[in-house]
Amino acid sequence: MQCDPNLVLAGFMGTGKSYIGRQLAMALKRRFVDTDRAIEEGEGRTIPEIFAASGESHFRALEHQLCQELSTPAGLIIATGGGMLLPAENQALMERGGVIICLWLPEDQLLQRLASNKDRPLLSGSNWRQIVRKLFAEREPAYRRLPYHVNVSTEDTEAVLGQILTIWRNALPLWRKQFCRNAAPGI
C-alpha cells in the first residue's frame, strides 16, 4: 500500500474548503480534488441540476462512490462537500486515505459568506438563514466527531494554512502507524 496520505478538508458549506484546499495544493505541490467539482464533471451537470433532476439521495450516493474512489492514500489535497462526511462510513473511508481536518466558522460569518452564494441547492428560498441554522445544528455532531479542527474566522490565510499544516504534520505519524503498518520509518 502506498503511504502518501491525503489531506482531507471537511466542514460546513462556506468555510472555505475549496479555496484553502487550492492554496494547500500549491504550497505542497500536490494534486487538488474538489469533490463537488469532481461529481459535476462525472455527471456532466451542476449540483443544483443533479438535485433538481435526480434528488439529494442520488447526489449522496455519488458522494459515497467518490469516497470509495478517494479512500486510497495518494498524496491528494481533497475538499469535501459539506455533507459528504456526515455518514460514518464515508468518514471511515476518507480516514483510511488520509488525515481529515474540519474547518470551522462562527455562525455570523458563515451567514455572511453564504448570503452571496445562490448556487447551493439546500439554501434555495427566502428562509435560507433558518435552513443554514437547522442544517448546521443537524451536522454539527458529525463535524465534532472529526479528530482535528481549525477555526477559519481570521482573514489571515497564511495563518490558517500554517495551522492546518501543523496539524497535518503532527497527525502523520499516528495515521501511518494505523494505516501503513509496513511503512519504513520516516516515510
| 135: CATH | 3.40.50.300
Task: Give buried/exposed letters for 130-153 (b at 16+ CB in 10 A, else e).
Answer: eebeebbeebeebbeebebbbebe
- The model's pTM: 0.90
187 domain residue, yes or no: no
What's the structural domain count of the chain?
1
Q: What is the pLDDT of residues 117-173, one digit of tens each?
A: 666 666 666 777 888 888 888 999 999 999 999 999 987 999 999 999 999 999 999
**33, 81 Cβ separation under 8 angstroms:** no
128 domain residue, yes or no: yes
pLDDT reading at 27 higher than 60: yes
What pLDDT is attached to residue 187?
Answer: 38
185 domain residue, yes or no: no
Please report where in the chains the cell 488520509 appears, as a residue: 98
**164, 26 Cβ separation under 8 angstroms:** no
- Which structural domain range is residue 96 located in? 6-179
131 domain residue, yes or no: yes
What pLDDT is attached to residue 131?
Answer: 82
